[in-house]
Amino acid sequence: MSVSKKIQRIAVLTSGGDAPGMNAALRAVVLAADHYNIEVIAFRHGYQGLLDNEHVVLEPKDVLHVLQYSGTIIKSARCKLFKEDAAAITAAQNLDALSIDALIVIGGDGSLRGADHLANHWSGQVIGMPGTIDNDLYGTDTTIGYATAVNIAMDALDKIRDTADAMDRVFIVEVMGRYAGFIGLRSAMAAGAERMILPELQKDKPLTVSALVKHIHRVKEIRGEGSYVMVLSEHQWPGGAVALAEQLDAEYDLPCRPCLLGHIQRGGPPAPADRILASELGVHAVELILRGAHRVMAGMRANQCVEVPLNESWEKKNPLTENLLRIQHEIFNPVKKKQRNKSE
C-alpha cells in the first residue's frame, strides 16, 4: 500500500442510533490501527463527546471480545448542537489539541452529514463508516446493523405467525427503518408476510384502508382459515400499527392485533454478516486514511471495498430491490392481478 504521510493518531466515534456491529467496527479499527502502529482515541457519546472533549485511548485489549455484542462500548448519541458551525469549529479545535490526523465516524446519514460538516472546518482527514439498521445510505450494498435488524424482524414475524395461524388472526407488525423500507421488505419476504406497507410504495400510491380490507377478505376467501400478517414500516400510518388495528376493528369489524418491534431490532448478538462487514470496513477505513483519503465513506459493493464521496452517501438513494418487490407483489401475492382487477 502506498502511504501518503505519517499517520500517528486517529480518532473514532459512533453516532446516531446504535447499530448492531458497531463494536465489531471499533475492534477492526483498533486492531488495524495497531497493525500500522497508529494510536486510537475514541470520543464517547458521539459528537457530544467531541464537543465535551470526552475521550479515551482504545487499545487492542479494550476491544478483544466485544464484537459479539450490540450497542457500542464508546456510547452513541444524537447531538442537535453539532449542526451549528460554532460546534464544528470547537470540534476541530479539540481534535487539533490532541494532534489527531484523521477521524472515523461510524453512523447513519445524519452522522455522515455531521462528518462532512466537520470537514468544512477541520484540516484532518474525515472518513465515514455506514452504521445504521436502516440501510439508507447510498454507495454500499448494505450498512452495518441492517442484517441483524432483518433477522430480528423475521424471527418476530415467525413467532407472530404461530399465534396468528392458531387463532386465524390478522396481525400488523411495525418495523423500524426511519423513512426507508429495506427492513420491511426483506423481513416480509423472509417471513412470507401477506402484505407490506413501505415508505417507497406509499409515496407512489398510498394504500387506503378499504383496499387493505378488500385484500384481507380476498386472501381469506382464497385460502380459507388461517392468518394474515402485514409488515408496516414506521411512520407510514398515522398512529402506527396500533391505530391501524383499531381502525380495522372499529370501522370494518375486522379484529386485528398490532405488534411494535421497536428498539428490539437494535439489540442482541449481531448477525455474522454485520460482524464481518463491520470488520472488513473497519480495516478498510484505516487503510483509506493511510492512502490519504478524505471526505469519503468506506463502503462495500459486490464484495469489494469501495470509497464513496461522503455527500453522495446521503444525497443519492438506493432503491428497494425491484425484483423482490415484483416477487412479493406478483408471484407471492395470494390475490393475483386478474382477481384483483375483478374485485377493484
Query: What residues act catalytically?
Result: 134
Using CA atoms, how far apart are residues 318 and 179, in angstroms rounded to an integer? 12
Closest separation between CB of residue 133 and ligand FBP, Å?
5
CB nearer ligand ADP, residue 78 or residue 340: 78
C-alpha dihedral, 288 to 292 to 295 to 299, nearest 10°: -20
| Backbone phi and psi for residue 9, each to the nearest 5 degrees, phi listed first | -145, 125
Q: Which amino acid is at 146?
A: Y
CA dihedral 199, 200, 203, 209 (to 10 degrees): -50
Interface stretch with ligand ADP, choices 1-9, 55-63, 105-113, 232-240 (CB under 6 A): 105-113
The single residue among 17, 20, 46, 130 that binds ligand FBP, judged by CB under 6 A, is 17
DSSP 231-253: EEETTSSTTHHHHHHHHHHHHH-
Residue number with CB closer to ligand ADP (82 or 182): 82
139 touches, from ligand ADP, ligand FBP, none (C-beta below 5 to 8 Å by class): none
Piece in contact with ligand ADP (CB under 6 A), picked from 78-86, 167-175, 213-221, 257-265: 78-86
Name which position in 21, 108, 128, 270 contacts ligand FBP (CB under 6 A). 108
C-alpha cell at 37: 502502529
Site string for ligand FBP, 113-132 (x = CB under 6 A): -------------------x
- Please, what's the b/e burial string for 171-198 (b: 16 or more CB within 10 A of its CB; e: otherwise)? bbbbbbbbebbbbbbbbbbebebbbbbb
Nearer to ligand FBP, 33 or 175 (CB): 175
For the segment 196-235, give every residue that binds ligand FBP (CB under 6 A): 234
Find the binding residues for ligand FBP in span 234-273 (CB under 6 A): 234, 266
> What SS3 class is residue 168?
coil
Cα–Cα distance for residue pair 134/136, rounded to 1 Å:
5
Q: Detail the DSSP E strand segments found in 134-286.
A: 170-175, 195-197, 228-233, 256-260
Q: Could you say whether residue 137 binds ligand FBP (CB under 6 A)?
A: no
| 20 near ligand ADP (CB under 6 A) | no
Residue in 113, 149, 145, 182 with CA at minimum distance from that of residue 278: 145
Side chain identity at residue 8, one-letter code? Q
Measured CA to CA, the distance from residue 131 to residue 111 in angstroms comes to 9
Q: Which is nearer to ligand ADP, 114 or 282 (CB)?
A: 114
Give me the torsion for CA of 307, 272, 321, 131, rounded to 10°. Answer: -50
Toward ligand FBP, which CB reaches closer, 136 or 194? 136
Closer CB to ligand FBP, 21 or 177, in the complex = 177
Number of residues that bind ligand FBP (CB under 6 A): 12
Q: Strands across the sheet with 170-175, in order?
A: 195-197, 228-233, 170-175, 256-260
Q: Is 143 in the site for ligand ADP (CB under 6 A)?
A: no
Query: Which residues are bridge partners to 229 per DSSP?
Result: 171
Using CB under 6 A, count the residues that bind ligand ADP. 17
Cα–Cα dist 185/299, whole Å: 22
124 or 199: CB nearest ligand FBP: 199
Q: Which of 88, 164, 176, 289 binds ligand FBP (CB under 6 A)?
A: 176
| 3-state class (DSSP) for residue 26 | helix
Select from 79-87, 121-129, 188-196, 245-253 the region that touches ligand ADP (CB under 6 A): 79-87
133 binds ligand FBP (CB under 6 A): yes
45 makes contact with ligand ADP (CB under 6 A): no
Least spacing, CB of residue 125 vs ligand FBP, in Å:
23
Helix-helix angle 209-223:240-252, to 10 degrees: 70
The site for ligand FBP (CB under 6 A) is made up of: 16-17, 108, 110, 132-134, 176-178, 234, 266
Residues that bind ligand ADP (CB under 6 A): 15-17, 47, 78-79, 82-83, 107-111, 113-114, 117, 132
